[in-house]
Chains A and B, each alone.
Chain A
Amino acid sequence: MLPITIMMILLVMAGVIAAVKDSATAKKLAIAAHIPAFALSAAMLVISAGEPIRLAIGAEPWNVYVFVTPLASFMVSLFIGVSLLIMWASMALVNYDVDQARIPMYYSLVCVLIASLCGVVIFGNFFNVFILMEVSSFAAAGIIIIKNRPENMRAGIKYLTLSILGSSFILMGIITLYFLTGSLSVTGIHESLVAGYAGQEVALVAGYTGYEVAAYNALIFITIGIALKSGLFPMHIAFPDAYAIAPSTSSAVLSSLVQKAYIFFYIMVLHKAFGIEVIMNDPVMSTTLFLVMAVGAAAMIAGSAMALLQTDLKRMIAYSSVAQVGYFFLGVGMGTRLGLFAVIFHFLTHAVTKAMLFLVAGSVIQQTDNRTIDKMGGIGAQMRVTMALFTVGALSMIGIPLLIGFNSKWFFAMGIFESQHLWLLGVLALSSLLNGCYYLPVVVRAFFGKEAAEAKQLGQSLELSVRGLVPIICLAFLVVAFAVIGGPIYYINMGIESIW
């Protein structure tokens, strides 16, 4: 019942917050909901390490089926943990972005969003997962348009529409799998597919003669759907708008958490429903996966190249996310153990780093009322701590050792080696160089140069209140700590072992 309890805590609290309608109480309640949820998810980490948690209510296929592998509980802890820090920071940031009257609604939506993301990860029945994906899409759109401006409305609608298109594609894939196997649970589908597979080399669907194409279609549809929902280039078009225009705390949640749930679902489809050895032995499916990898590589470059062209700080970070999503798909597409490891580790990396960057961007925008990078000269003199935190994030994205970004880059490189696509090393190197090209100028302009000297003369501090800074500092601390602590690596390895 542990996973359900975690979700229920968040959902119930979402209801309570919606009912309370007092913004100060709403903030406290949201955080109060996250803390026990996080504690329970930590407990779940430990429990699921021993044995996956399974819980089925009702009979297949239309039942509620919870299936928590160590990787899933890792994701749940990541979601709730990072969200907790973001919520904490939002106490100082959200008033700038959201009308006072809508703040309870905002926190309520965030709680629903996090609960549904956890649900996407822990449920083993694809139908359950699908419903939660839809809920998460709507909640995510809600925290974009809550800002109540026409451009937010447009961005939210764009985001939601494309997200729904993605869901439809995923649904088509799920239905196809259901049609082939008569099952909706991840384990049931796998057993059924492998029974058809029966150890034969090529014919995945030997038991489904005449429906091989259907199996291919299922994979392709799910792939396209996930690509749409998580903003893989060139289907990212809704994302930069959404992230740039949403309240900064929403951008942090959206960019660092939401996409990951969908990609995790994709990993589950590949590794648990189909089974990776089946996919890699089938020419069509392995080609699909190869294309995923290649498109991921293209996204890494294209996202960064577009980030380079931005003048708006948040848009730039948003495009950086497009590039980072490319990393995930690159790793997933390798279809190797090290590739998968790199992806899961990069979940952690990107979650903490991008959350930090968006929160910093949010505080800069809030304190200076300016989002244009060109006008941020010398901001380091007035917001020393904030910009130092930004620097940590930027250096991590570039991949400087002893920051978590380097570890990710390293694991991706190892994955690339294992998969023998050595040209990707060049892509990886180029991508980190491009990261440098757009993150460093912000840092440089903030701390060095004439404007910095002039700003120093002014000497007035625009720093965010300590209450707002502490959670961002915690994130920065995590960026360093996870680079040198072996715990996550060990745990992720164990998790991958359990699903391989």
Chain B
Amino acid sequence: MLPIVIMLTLFAAAGVIFVIKVNVIAKRLAIAAHVLALALSALMLAVTADEPISVILGTEPWNFYVLVTPLDAFMVSLFIGVSLFILWASVTMIDHDIEQARIPMYYALMCVLIATLCGVVVFENFFNVFLLVEASSFAAAGTVVIKNKPENMRAGLKYISLSILGSSFILMGIIILYFITDSLSITGIYASLSTNFTDNEDSVRNALIFITLGTALKSALFPLHIWLPDAHGTAPSPSSAALSALVLKAYIFLYVKILYKAIGAEILLNDEIMLLTLFLVMVTGAVAMIAGSIFALMQSDIKRMIAYSSVAQIGYIFMGIGMGTRLGLFAAIFHILTHAVTKALLFLAAGSIIEQTHNRTISKMGGLGSQMRITMLLFTVGSLSMIGIPLFIGFNSKWFYAVGIIDSHNYWLLGVLALSSLLNAAYYLPIVLRAFFGKSDTEDFLPRQSLECPMRALMPIICLAFLIVALALLGGPVNSYIYMGIDSIW
């Protein structure tokens, strides 16, 4: 029942917050719910390491079916943990972004969002999963439009419509699989396919292609990323952090589960068409790595730049999945972690810069390092991690990707990887260098008063930075946990 309890904790908190409508209590309650949920998810990590947790209510196919493997538990902990930091940071930041009256609503939405994301991960029945995917889409869109400005409305609409289109593609795929296998649970589909795949090759391939397209849309794989920069660029900074660091990952993770748990490695990796699909996913991922970075390079707005950087990072993850090897998948899962902590940090740091200086334009950030020393240092940590400098978690990702690439014999991707690091450097470093070495070009900055956020607001960002370094140096247990998780689904 552990996974259900976790979800219910968050849902309950959301409900209470929505009813009470007191800002301070909303904030505290949301955080309290997260702390509790995080503790439970840590417990779940330990439990699933020994044996998967399975909860079934009702009979197939229309039932509630929860199955938590170690990998799922890892994702749940990641979601709740990172979300906790984001909410913590949001306590001070959110007041600047949205109206007071909407703050309880915001926190309620955030709790719902995280709960649904956890649900997407832990449910085994596709119908359950699909409902939660839809719920999460609406919650996510809610955290974008809550800012109540015209551009937010536009971005939110764009986001929700494309997201629903993606959901429908995924639904098609699920329905096709259901028709072939008469099952809606992943385990059921897998069991059925292992006997009747040969009779339904084309249908399964179609299903895979539909699901791939749907996931690509929902997770903003280039060139289907068009909604992402708007949504992530205009949303309140904590929302951007959550959307970018967490939401995209849930759908990707679902995709991984479909590939390896529903269809299964032995079918997937022995069918030419599916292999080709995977290969295309990999190539598109590689293209996204470069294209996303090039777009990022052209941005003048810091949040849009970070948003485009997410497009590139999503490319990494798809590239890893598309390799169709264990090491590739490992790299992808690890990168989900890397990107979650790093991107959350970057969006939060960017958020506090915007909040303190009321400026989003990169070129006007010269000399900022002397006014917001700690914030900019934190931003530097995030940048170095994105570039892949050793001692930061981004480096570990890069390392695992390179190993995966060599293992899968796609050597040209090494060049893409290297080039992508260059591009990351090309758009993150100027901000850092300009902040610390450049001259401030606006006169009103001249009285060198500190513009630093209060320590209370900086603390969660510092924790994220600490995580970036700690996971890079002491990440051994995490690595082995992920390996174990992959072994359990392969």
Contact = CB atoms under 8 A, between A and B. Distances in A.
Tell me, yes or no, whether A and B come into direct contact in the complex with CB atoms closer than 8 A.
Answer: yes
B438 A217 contact: no
A168 B421 contact: yes
Interface in A158-176: 160-162, 164-165, 167-169, 171-172, 175-176
Nearest to B406: A179
B391 interface: yes
A134 B389 contact: yes
B437 A148 contact: yes
Contacts of A157: 426, 429-430, 433
A145 B433 contact: yes
A401 to B, nearest CB: 44
Interface stretch (B44-52, B57-65, B115-123, B412-420): B412-420
B436 to A, nearest CB: 9
Contacts of B422: 161-162, 164-165, 168
A213 interface: yes
Contacts of A146: 437
Interface string B418-442: 1101100110011001100111000
Contact of B390 (A130, A165, A179, A225): A130
A38 interface: no
A405 interface: no
Contacts of B407: 179
A38 to B, nearest CB: 29
Contact of B398 (A152, A156, A171, A225): A171
B29 interface: no
A153 interface: yes
Contact of B388 (A148, A168, A213): A168
A146 B437 CA distance: 7
User: Size band of the B side of the interface?
Assistant: 20 to 34
A220 to B, nearest CB: 9
B425 A164 contact: yes
Interface in B149-178: none
B417 A172 contact: yes
Interface string A191-222: 00000000000000000000101100100010
A216 to B, nearest CB: 9
Contacts of B409: 213-214
Contact of A153 (B402, B403, B433): B433
A131 interface: yes
A174 B426 CA distance: 23
Given A168-B388, A168-B422, A176-B406, A148 B429 contact: no
B425 A160 contact: yes
B438 A175 contact: no
Contacts of B421: 164-165, 167-168
Nearest to B409: A213
Contacts of B387: 164
B437 A165 contact: no
B399 interface: yes
Contacts of A168: 388, 398, 417-419, 421-422
A157 B426 CA distance: 7
A242 to B, nearest CB: 13
Nearest to A221: B414
A213 B414 CA distance: 13
B320 to A, nearest CB: 15
A105 B429 CA distance: 19
A152 B430 CA distance: 12
Nearest to B420: A168
Contact of B402 (A134, A160, A171): A171
Nearest to A156: B433
Nearest to A218: B406
B313 to A, nearest CB: 16
Contacts of A217: 406, 411, 414
Given A145-B437, A164-B387, A169 B425 contact: no
A181 to B, nearest CB: 12
A161 B425 CA distance: 6
Most B-side CB within 10 Å, residue of A127, A157, A162:
A157
Nearest to A173: B414
A204 to B, nearest CB: 16
Contacts of A172: 402, 414-415, 417-418
A134 B385 CA distance: 13
Contacts of B406: 175-176, 179, 211, 214, 217
A164 B427 CA distance: 13
Interface string A443-478: 000000000000000000000000000000000000
Given A168-B388, A175-B399, A214-B406, A153 B425 contact: no
Contacts of B402: 171-172, 175-176
Interface in A118-165: 127, 130-131, 134, 141, 145-146, 148, 150, 152-153, 156-157, 160-162, 164-165
A153 B431 CA distance: 11
A161 B434 CA distance: 14
Contacts of A160: 425, 429, 433
Contacts of A162: 422
A280 to B, nearest CB: 23
A359 B259 CA distance: 63
B437 A153 contact: yes
B334 to A, nearest CB: 14
Nearest to A148: B437
A478 to B, nearest CB: 34
Contacts of B398: 168, 171
Contacts of B425: 160-161, 164-165
A126 to B, nearest CB: 11
Given A213-B411, A217-B411, A217-B414, A153 B438 contact: yes
Contacts of A214: 406, 409, 411
B437 A161 contact: no
A175 to B, nearest CB: 4
Interface string B437-452: 1110000000000000
Interface in A274-295: none
A134 B429 contact: no
A104 B403 CA distance: 41
B225 to A, nearest CB: 24
- Among B418, B430, B438, residue most surrounded by chain A Cβ atoms (within 10 Å): B418
B418 A169 contact: yes
Given A131-B391, A168-B421, A213-B411, A175 B403 contact: yes
A157 B419 CA distance: 16
A198 to B, nearest CB: 22
A311 to B, nearest CB: 27
A160 B389 CA distance: 12
A211 B411 CA distance: 11
B390 A161 contact: no
Contacts of B433: 141, 145, 153, 156-157, 160
Nearest to A133: B390
Q: Which of A134, A171, A172, A179 has most chain B Cβ within 10 Å?
A: A172
B479 to A, nearest CB: 12
Given A153-B434, A213-B411, A148 B418 contact: no
A145 B435 CA distance: 12
A172 B417 CA distance: 8
A34 to B, nearest CB: 25
A164 B394 CA distance: 14
7 contacts: A164-B425, A165-B418, A169-B418, A171-B402, A172-B417, A172-B418, A179-B407
Report the 8 A-B pairs with minimum CB-CB distance, sorted nearest first.
A165-B422, A168-B418, A175-B402, A168-B421, A172-B414, A164-B425, A131-B390, A169-B418
Interface of A: 127, 130-131, 134, 141, 145-146, 148, 150, 152-153, 156-157, 160-162, 164-165, 167-169, 171-172, 175-176, 178-179, 211, 213-214, 217, 221, 225
Given A148-B438, A168-B388, A172-B402, 7 more contacts: A146-B437, A153-B434, A164-B425, A165-B418, A168-B398, A211-B406, A213-B409
Interface of B: 387-391, 398-399, 402-403, 406-407, 409, 411, 414-415, 417-419, 421-422, 425-426, 429-430, 433-434, 437-439
